[in-house]
Amino acid sequence: MHGRDARAHKKKHMATIDIQNLSGGKVGTLELADEVFGAVNEDLLWEAVKHYRAAHRAGTHATKNKKLVSGAGKKLWKQKGTGRARVGSIRSPLWRHGGTVHGPQPHSYDYQFPRKKLLGALRSALAAKFADGKLIVVNAFSLKEVKTKAFRESLDKLKVDSTALLVEVPNHGNRNLVLSSRNLEGVELLSGNAVHPYHLLRYDRAIFSQPAIEKLQVTLKSSLPKRHKHAAEDEGSPKKATKAPRRRTKHEKAAEVA
């Protein structure tokens, strides 16, 4: 296999990741789509994290203006004839204990973030985790009983020595997993439809169940822009030679003008 055929074969080759059980043993492999686990867009990740943090700001800061500050509204002295500067209220911003001008008021820092950019950032976050070797896929979070200690031992067998994000399918109903993981420091459990790029960047390891990673991969792959889909389809197919447009002669141009 040489030349164009070798390059096409290389492009069609998909990355794979091992599927493990909670004992740390390999039970299979999973193919990862290049469209999802490919390039990492750091600028898009920065925008997504900025939006996430801004949306979670409390925005409860407040200052008292001239209307809200304590003090009477009586004019302190007459307008003219005293030789002093004119003043209308003891609550004037020019005075000590007066109101604050243009101070911060309670408001929301949230703003609209395009869904396509959010999904693109999620693809980049997953690609970054996979490239760093910190993405783990387990066949299932099957726990026989509610035991935090036993689940901590399972994480140790998966070589999780720091913070970890657990991702399960929505409405999984795995009560043993919820109760066994909620008291572990640095461990958070989320459903697949609630994962944000911020979560993947915040935690050191990302542990997905096989159904969760498969469903998320299908969703992210189907949300690709059309130009990206066409580019992926055209990678393996040879390009067709296109003819250059024929130049018009002087007689044809003159005929068009006439």
Contact (CB, 8 A) for 166 and 136: no
Tokens coding 44 = 């898009």
Q: Based on the fold, state whether residues 79 and 189 are members of the same structural domain.
A: no
Q: Based on the fold, state whether residues 189 and 100 are members of the same structural domain.
A: no
Q: Based on the fold, state whether residues 46 and 163 are members of the same structural domain.
A: yes
Q: Based on the fold, state whether residues 96 and 157 are members of the same structural domain.
A: no
The reply to whether 257 falls in a domain is no
Contact (CB, 8 A) for 57 and 111: no
Q: Based on the fold, state whether residues 73 and 193 are members of the same structural domain.
A: no
Contact (CB, 8 A) for 209 and 165: no
Q: Based on the fold, state whether residues 33 and 75 are members of the same structural domain.
A: no
The CATH number covering residue 155 comes to: 3.40.1370.10
Q: Based on the fold, state whether residues 185 and 230 are members of the same structural domain.
A: yes
The reply to whether 247 falls in a domain is no
If phi > 0 it is left, if psi is from -120 to 50 it is alpha, else beta; for residue 236 that is alpha
The pLDDT assigned to 115 comes to 93
Output the pTM of the full model: 0.75
- At residue 217, φ and ψ (nearest 5 deg) are -65, -40
**The domain containing residue 79 runs over which residues?**
60-107
Q: Based on the fold, state whether residues 131 and 220 are members of the same structural domain.
A: yes
Domain count of the chain?
2
Q: Based on the fold, state whether residues 36 and 103 are members of the same structural domain.
A: no
pLDDT (tens, 9 = 90+) of the chain, 258 residues, equals: 454 554 444 445 678 899 999 988 888 999 998 888 988 999 999 999 999 999 999 999 999 999 999 998 899 999 999 999 999 999 999 999 999 999 999 999 999 999 999 999 999 999 999 999 999 999 999 888 999 999 999 999 999 989 999 999 988 888 999 999 999 999 999 998 999 999 999 999 999 999 999 999 999 988 887 666 555 555 555 555 556 666 767 666 666 665
Q: Which helix (H) or strand (E) holds 234?
A: helix 226-235
Q: Based on the fold, state whether residues 173 and 89 are members of the same structural domain.
A: no
